[in-house]
């Protein structure tokens, strides 16, 4: 079945690192994504990783993929107040002959001074 | 400016009163879709469209209709809204169905059905 799970809340102090975790069930996923949703806005693609990679780094963001455990994480270094948002994990699966995105419920990241 | 627009942004209505939420994109995208976002459930796809006059059901299509008469517009129609359709709705578009990860999302429409 298709299911993506992530914890609902994370609170961190400004300047610390944040780690948001996600697990997925479909082993045929080709790409996995992290989206960011700021208050009152739609989703914005933050970063993605191809399923044959185990790590991707992009400035303050590090994505780790453990394909064996079907576990994806997003690490934000030096977390700032502007990073406060909801972060969605998503996997791309092939369903009915076309690509489909399955989203997790979202993790609300709160950054406090 | 490349964007997806939705109207209205906020709507309060009563059970059974037909409503339409409009969605328009100015990027000449072929693929458009509608999602609803509910607490603890993330985004679930309602309907999608691969191109003009080509639409298909997503994961939660019950109670909704769509049409795609022009490439830029993809309205969502609730013929007889019910309280369980109270939600936050997002329209999104991308070049094609294979590139859903690069979907551009609209700002959302918050709907309350009394």
Q: What is the pLDDT of residue A97?
A: 67
Interstrand relation of B19-25 and B76-78 (parallel, antiparallel or unpaired): antiparallel
**CA nearest A91: which of A60, A69, A68, A70?**
A70
Q: What is the pLDDT of residue B20?
A: 98
Q: Which residues of A touch B105 (CB under 8 A)?
A: 41-44
Using the predicted structure, report yes or no on whether residue B102 has a pLDDT greater than 80. Answer: no
**Nearest chain B residue (CA) to A36:** B105
Give B79's DSSP letter.
Answer: S
- Is B4 in Cβ contact with A103 (below 8 Å)? no
Q: What is the pLDDT of residue A1?
A: 54
* Helix (H/G/I), strand (E/B), else coil: B94: strand
Backbone angles phi, psi at B69, to 5 degrees: -90, -25
Tell whether B88 lies on the interface with A, counting CB pairs under 8 A.
no
- The C-alpha torsion from B81 through B83 and B89 to B91, rounded to 10°, is -20
- Report the alpha-carbon distance of residue B50 to residue B58 in Å, rounded: 12
Structural contact between residues B96 and B66, judged by C-beta atoms closer than 8 angstroms: no
Q: Which residue has the higher pLDDT, B98 or B106?
A: B106
Residues 6 or more apart whose Cβ sits within 8 Å of residue B35: B43, B44, B45, B46, B58, B89, B90, B91, B92
Q: Which residues of A touch B45 (CB under 8 A)?
A: 100-101
Q: Which residue has the higher pLDDT, B47 or A51?
A: B47
Q: What is the pLDDT of residue B97?
A: 64
Using the predicted structure, report yes or no on whether residue B101 has a pLDDT greater than 80. Answer: no
- Is B92 in Cβ contact with A88 (below 8 Å)? no
Q: How confident is the model at residue B40 (pLDDT cuts 50, 70, 90)?
A: confident
* Preferred mutation among A6, A23, A43, A56 to probe B, highest tally of B CBs within 10 A: A43
CA B96 centroid distance within chain: 16
pLDDT in tens, chain A (113 residues): 568 999 899 999 999 999 999 999 887 777 899 999 998 888 888 998 988 888 999 999 999 999 889 999 999 999 999 999 999 999 888 766 667 788 999 999 999 98
Among positive and negative, which fits the CA dihedral A26, A7, A76, A16? negative
Q: What is the pLDDT of residue B12?
A: 97
Nearest Cβ partner of B101 from A31, A41, A104?
A31
Q: What is the pLDDT of residue A94?
A: 76
Q: Report the pLDDT averaged over residues B64-74.
A: 97
Backbone angles phi, psi at A40, to 5 degrees: 75, 10
Structural contact between residues A20 and A104, judged by C-beta atoms closer than 8 angstroms: no
- Report the alpha-carbon distance of residue A42 to residue B79 in Å, rounded: 25
Cα angle for residues B59, B43, A53 (degrees, 5° grid): 100
């Amino acid at each position: 079945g298709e299911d993506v799970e992530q914890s609902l809340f994370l609170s961190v102090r400004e300047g610390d690192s944040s780690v948001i975790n996600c697990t997925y069930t479909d082993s045929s996923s080709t790409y996995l994504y992290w989206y960011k949703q700021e208050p009152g806005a739609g989703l914005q693609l933050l970063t993605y990783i191809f399923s044959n990679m185990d790590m991707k780094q992009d400035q303050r963001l590090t994505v780790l993929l453990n394909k064996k455990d079907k576990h994806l994480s997003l690490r934000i270094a030096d977390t700032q107040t502007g990073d406060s948002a909801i972060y969605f994990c998503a996997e791309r699966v092939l369903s009915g002959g076309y690509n489909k995105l399955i989203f997790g419920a979202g993790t609300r990241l709160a950054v406090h001074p | 400016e490349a964007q997806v627009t939705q109207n209205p942004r906020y709507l309060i209505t009563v059970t059974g009163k037909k409503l339409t939420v409009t969605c328009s994109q100015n990027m000449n995208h072929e693929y458009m879709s509608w999602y609803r976002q509910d607490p603890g459930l993330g985004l679930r796809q309602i309907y999608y469209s691969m191109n003009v006059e080509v639409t298909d059901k997503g994961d939660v299509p019950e109670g909704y209709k769509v049409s795609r008469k022009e490439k830029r517009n993809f309205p969502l129609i609730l013929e007889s809204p019910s309280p369980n359709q109270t939600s936050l709705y997002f329209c999104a578009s991308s070049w094609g169905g294979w590139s859903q990860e690069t979907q551009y999302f609209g700002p959302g429409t918050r709907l309350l059905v009394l």
